[in-house]
Structure 1
Amino acid sequence: MNAHHQTFDAAVIGGGLVGKTAALALTQAGLRVALLAQHCAPLAPDAAFDSRIYALSASSQALLERLRVWQALDTARLSPVYDMRVYGDAHAELHFSAFQAAVPQLAWIAESSLIEQALDSALRFQPNVTWFDARAQGLDVQPRGATIGLANGNVLEADLVVGADGAHSWVRAQIGSKADRRDYRQTGVVANFKAERPHGETAYQWFRDGEIIALLPLPDGHVSLVWSAHADHAEELMALAPARLAAEVERVTMGALGALECVTPAKGFPLALQTVDRLAAPRVVLVGDAAHLIHPLAGQGMNLGLRDVASLADVIAKKEAFRDLGDMVLLRRYERSRSEDIRALMIATDGLQRLFAVPGFVARAVRNAGMAIVGAQPLIKRWLVSSALG
């Protein structure tokens, strides 16, 4: 075989958490996989908390357990969420409890780098995964297979190409899948703090003047901030000195956790709603942010992407022996399996964002009444928790 020309069952383009999970799931299903991704920098045991934090649902935990990644995570850097308190306008409040919902926890809070490092370690032990730290620059799909040209001159052939290359997906552009993007004109400002008061494994969320502030529990009395702020306000927040930022977070959260000490500098990422007109084309599927973007107010973006991976792995596991991996009949099964979940979460998160962005007394009264109704209905609250768990 030509050293620069290699053949695989599947090629995963994109190396974030979703892409690496996809590569691991496919190779554990018995496929030979090419992964176009960078390795994650090793995480020092005494390193400060990563600024990018995810709230992982029960469905994400189940997938990572099945892939034997969850068991490898450093539990000292994980925090369960047993309660969630949501504050709307005036004195409106919602309380969600794992105990009342009869579940072990509502979510797990984990650092992006922690999960990615565990995925890297798992992938290194997979003999049927080949890493390529090179950019794809050509994709040619033919009836007998897909050919991927790399920037370093190598050529890969695969029966299936998985696009996991983010919101501005190169793979999506190659298959002509059109993205409809609506910018929220907001930035997600993230930072981590040491809190004076114990957080009690509780996640807090405040809706304030069209912005959303969340404090998520981290180990050892720390919390992670996710502040969905209007773009201009976000620039102001990120320009603050750490002590000034901590004081502003204390103010807007009404000192819920006492004095805060900023331990991770603030960073920001733009917020948008993005849909695509198709998740599958001959020999190609999209997963993760390449397939959808939602507002982070419910913390479900990563969980949605990992459910893409679980569905794709399930469809392939049930594939008829005579059917090719790139067969559109097979890939449309994946597309159909994801449509309802994606649409439901998009409607829910976008609807909530719009609802709390409307100014005025009437809108505020409607929001307060709605929160009061939900808060008084245990069955509705249990259904919401069940949906969030995936």
Structure 2
Amino acid sequence: MSDFNSIFDASVVGGGIVGKTAALALARTGLRVALLARAPAPLPANAAACDGRVYAVSGGTQRLLERLRVWQALDRARLSPVYDMRVYGDAHAELHFSAFQAAVPELAWIVESSLLEGALDTALGFHPSVEILNASAQKLRVSSDMAALELEDGAPLKARLVVGADGAHSWVRAQSGIPCTQREYGQTALTAQFQAEQPHREAAYQWFRNGEIIALLPLPENKVSLVWSAHTPHARALRALDVPSFAAAVEQGSERRLGALQCLSPVRGFALALCKASRLIAPRVALVGDAAHVIHPLAGQGLNLGVRDVAALARTVAAREPFRDPGDPVLLRRYERSRRADIQLLMAATDGLYRLFSWSGAVPRGVRNAGFKLVNAMPRIKRWLASYSVHAPV
């Protein structure tokens, strides 16, 4: 860093997609930003061509990335729109969501993690107001007018605002004394990429079976990305299979909707839990993304929820009165209030759906099937559900 005695307007802790987006969004409001982001380990040579980690990017997230000049830099050949989504429940119950019926250009875009992170890195490298530090912090001290981070080499980093974007096990959240309520789902999300035999036609598919959820998301060149939220013992058994046997298990779980599947990437696993910070703010601190909330991936909205945090924080900072600095407690309370309803709604919806489909027995099965039929019979509700994240304010 060029000047350890200077005071940054904001320091973002966390080098993931949400943290990098936060650094760019805050810099765009005119702030001088320090981004603490450990350099990632080198990826295998073929990782860019076969990334099993993908995100369903909503229209709102796309709009923010466009304003940050990131979306335009993505390789369009590696993006896949989602025009339809088909959800299957018990006894062949089915829901169909259509971008055409919802009057939106697409329901989402499926974007590989490595592609999005590369575009963010490029944008950050060209932004004169962002200083990237390949370092981590070990202490956080807060006074009335600033926060001081002590880096691992003992160097101080001072900022008016510290943004915690450092994930579900957030160091910033812990240092700020913000409690987090957590409940393990007892599930592991398995991810991998496949070549499909049958065309996916830019449709996403999801199956709710025996308390587990299998999703196949479209990618270019008729590839698909798997997210299988499996009970953890079952997930361990699936990961122990050889590649052809694992592909066969996915084919069976997806009712061979896309025919034979050829596995193209390593199978990764992520433990699933519900996590909610009791507050989004502390003196001179704001939490965004997984540091503030972690939801079940069944709706594919975790990243979009975090990006909406970033957009709200940047919007609040940009609209501040001239006499308020970016870490002013009044601004932080405005940010927290602006995010409360959206976070509560999505957390309740995803957790409620998980609970509904995890219950076994005839009565829960009847409730689920009745719900599918009710939603299918109400076009306005279907349109709202299909377009919620597309039109969510960012």
Distance (Å, rounded) in 2 between the aligned partners of 1:358 and 1:207: 11
SS at match of 2:30: coil
Distance (Å, rounded) in 1 between the aligned partners of 2:212 and 2:135: 39
Distance (Å, rounded) in 2 between the aligned partners of 1:3 and 1:53: 38
Distance (Å, rounded) in 1 between the aligned partners of 2:306 and 2:367: 32
2:294 is matched with 293
Distance (Å, rounded) in 2 between the aligned partners of 1:57 and 1:17: 15
SS at match of 1:264: coil
1:375 is matched with 376
Assess, with a 3 A threshold, how the Cα gap between structure 1 residues 216 and 322 changes in structure 2: closer, same or farther: same
Letter of the aligned partner of 1:179 in structure 2?
Answer: C
2:230 is matched with 229
What is the correspondence of 1:113-262 to structure 2 with a 5 Å cutoff?
113-262=114-263
Query: Once the 2 structures are TM-superposed, how far is the Cα of residue 43 of structure 1 from its aligned partner?
Result: 9.1
Query: Once the 2 structures are TM-superposed, how far is the Cα of residue 240 of structure 1 from its aligned partner?
Result: 1.3
SS at match of 2:142: strand
Distance (Å, rounded) in 2 between the aligned partners of 1:174 and 1:247: 46
Q: Deviations over 1:121-163 (max 9, x none)?
A: 0000011111111110011100121111000222111000000
Q: Deviations over 1:298-353 (max 9, x none)?
A: 00000000000000010011000011211111000000000000000000000000
1:302 is matched with 303
Letter of the aligned partner of 1:175 in structure 2?
Answer: S
Distance (Å, rounded) in 1 between the aligned partners of 2:289 and 2:255: 35
Assess, with a 3 A threshold, how the Cα gap between structure 1 residues 190 and 42 changes in structure 2: closer, same or farther: closer
Letter of the aligned partner of 1:36 in structure 2?
Answer: L
Q: Deviations over 1:191-231 (max 9, x none)?
A: 11000000000000000000000000001010000000000
Letter of the aligned partner of 2:149 in structure 1?
Answer: I
Distance (Å, rounded) in 1 between the aligned partners of 2:380 and 2:3: 60
Q: Deviations over 1:281-312 (max 9, x none)?
A: 11100000000000000000000000000000
- RMSD in angstroms over aligned alpha carbons? 1.5
Letter of the aligned partner of 2:171 in structure 1?
Answer: W
Matched, 1:13 2:31: no
Matched, 1:22 2:22: yes
Distance (Å, rounded) in 1 between the aligned partners of 2:187 and 2:34: 36
Distance (Å, rounded) in 2 between the aligned partners of 1:254 and 1:312: 43
In the alignment of these two chains, the number of paired residues is 390
Assess, with a 3 A threshold, how the Cα gap between structure 1 residues 222 and 160 changes in structure 2: closer, same or farther: same
Q: 2:107–2:387: 8 Å Cα contact kept in structure 1?
A: no
SS at match of 2:138: strand
SS at match of 1:243: helix
Letter of the aligned partner of 1:183 in structure 2?
Answer: E
SS at match of 2:264: strand
1:35 is matched with 35
Query: Once the 2 structures are TM-superposed, how far is the Cα of residue 91 of structure 1 from its aligned partner?
Result: 1.1
Task: After superposing the two structures, state which structure 1 stretch, 231-240 or 220-229, moved more.
Answer: 231-240
SS at match of 1:320: coil
Q: 1:81–1:202: 8 Å Cα contact kept in structure 2?
A: yes
Unaligned runs of 5+ in 1: none
SS at match of 1:265: coil
What is the correspondence of 1:343-362 to structure 2 with a 5 Å cutoff?
343-362=344-363
Distance (Å, rounded) in 2 between the aligned partners of 1:43 and 1:127: 31
Distance (Å, rounded) in 2 between the aligned partners of 1:75 and 1:299: 21
Query: Once the 2 structures are TM-superposed, how far is the Cα of residue 238 of structure 1 from its aligned partner?
Result: 1.3
Percent identical pairs in the alignment equals 64
Letter of the aligned partner of 2:310 in structure 1?
Answer: V
2:316 is matched with 315
Q: Deviations over 1:348-374 (max 9, x none)?
A: 000000000010111111100110110
